[in-house]
């Protein structure tokens, strides 16, 4: 896993949402790398980080076939809406359980258009890359 990839994602996504970027995590089904804004980091232990990734990977295992149940096109990501954050779970490879988790502050300056821009960035810039890091 590449710490450099997480740093690259942090830099690119910060250009989109600015200081409203809370968390960026890359996971590959076995391990993960995460970067958090300092105030967010204060609220999470390494066990909490693992629990979030486990939750997303478990969710990702249930996704294949979901597009068949909705007449809405290809599934690009799942956005979970919390009081304080939008959490984007973007699957890179279902088979290898790889993907990116992005948390964006709600109530700041970021909007759902910015959330969409983050998903577009991941789809355009990260999706074409090999999932083996």
pLDDT at 132: 45
Mark the ranges of the chain whose per-residue pLDDT is less than 50: 1, 132-133
pTM, full prediction: 0.88
Burial pattern 11-30, b for ≥16 Cβ within 10 A else e, equals eebeebbeebbbbbbbbbbe
Distance CA 110, CA 115 (A): 8
CATH dotted code for 3-126: 3.30.450.30
Q: How far is CA 47 from CA 24, 44, 53, in A?
A: 16, 8, 10
Helices 112-121 and 3-17 meet at what angle, rounded to 10? 140
Domain boundaries, the chain: 3-126
């Amino acid at each position: 896993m590449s710490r450099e990839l997480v740093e690259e994602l942090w830099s690119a996504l910060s250009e989109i949402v600015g200081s409203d970027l809370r968390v960026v995590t890359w996971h590959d089904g076995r391990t993960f790398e995460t970067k958090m804004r300092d105030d967010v980091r204060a609220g999470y232990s390494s066990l909490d980080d693992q629990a979030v990734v486990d939750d997303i990977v478990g969710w990702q295992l249930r996704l294949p076939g979901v597009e068949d149940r909705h007449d809405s096109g290809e599934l690009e990501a799942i956005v979970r809406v919390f009081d304080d954050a939008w959490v984007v779970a973007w699957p890179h490879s279902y088979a290898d359980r790889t993907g990116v988790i992005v948390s964006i502050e709600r109530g700041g300056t970021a909007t759902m258009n910015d959330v969409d821009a983050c998903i577009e960035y991941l789809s355009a810039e990260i999706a074409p890359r090999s999932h083996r890091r």
